[in-house]
């Protein structure tokens, strides 16, 4: 058992000593790292350019948003003006229609008033004539016969 433990400890030291071995760094590896650094610098420069372009786009978007807000407020004002104009137009239209209807009704009443008076006068005159003829038919039988044939009695 002591032999197994000693073999394990020996194996552990050997593996630790083998892991500390230095890896050789060649000129090709150095050149490759330099090329990678150059590429990374180019990528960094491109990224900086993209950041500047994005900042420019952000400014343009802000300007567009401000212009859109101005346009929206202008359109709201124009819509309000149009609605006010339409309300005034409808008010004038309906007011004119009311005046026209009032004038027509007033004109009809004033035009019909003389006809109504004349009709009333004629009815009264007819009633008077009918009374006079009834008084006469009592005294004259011929008039009574004529009035019956005419349908007045």
Average pLDDT over the chain reads: 84
pLDDT of residue 19: 52
pLDDT of residue 22: 62
Distance of CA 5 to the CA centre of its chain: 89
Residue 111 to residues 19, 21, 120, Cα–Cα distance (Å): 128, 130, 15
pLDDT higher than 70, residue 13? no
Query: What is the C-alpha end-to-end distance of the chain, expressed in Å?
Result: 161
Question: Comparing C-alpha atoms, which of 27, 28, 49, 47 is closest to residue 39?
Answer: 47
Residue with tokens 């104009």: 85
**% of the chain residues with pLDDT over 70:** 86
Distance of CA 7 to the CA centre of its chain: 90
């Amino acid at each position: 058992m002591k032999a197994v433990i000693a073999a394990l400890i020996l194996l552990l030291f050997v593996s630790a000593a083998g892991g500390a071995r230095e890896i050789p760094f060649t000129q090709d590896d150095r050149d490759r790292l330099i090329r990678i650094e150059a590429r990374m610098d180019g990528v960094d420069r491109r990224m900086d350019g993209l950041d500047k372009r994005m900042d420019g786009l952000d400014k343009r978007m802000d300007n567009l948003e401000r212009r859109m807000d101005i346009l929206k407020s202008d359109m709201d004002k124009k819509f309000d003006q149009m609605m006010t104009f339409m309300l005034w137009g409808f008010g004038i239209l309906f007011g004119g229609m009311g005046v026209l209807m009032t004038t027509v009704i007033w004109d009809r009443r004033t035009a019909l008033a003389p006809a109504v008076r004349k009709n009333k006068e004629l009815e009264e005159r007819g009633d008077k004539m009918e009374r006079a003829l009834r008084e006469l038919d009592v005294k004259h039988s011929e008039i009574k016969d004529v009035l019956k044939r005419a349908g007045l009695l």
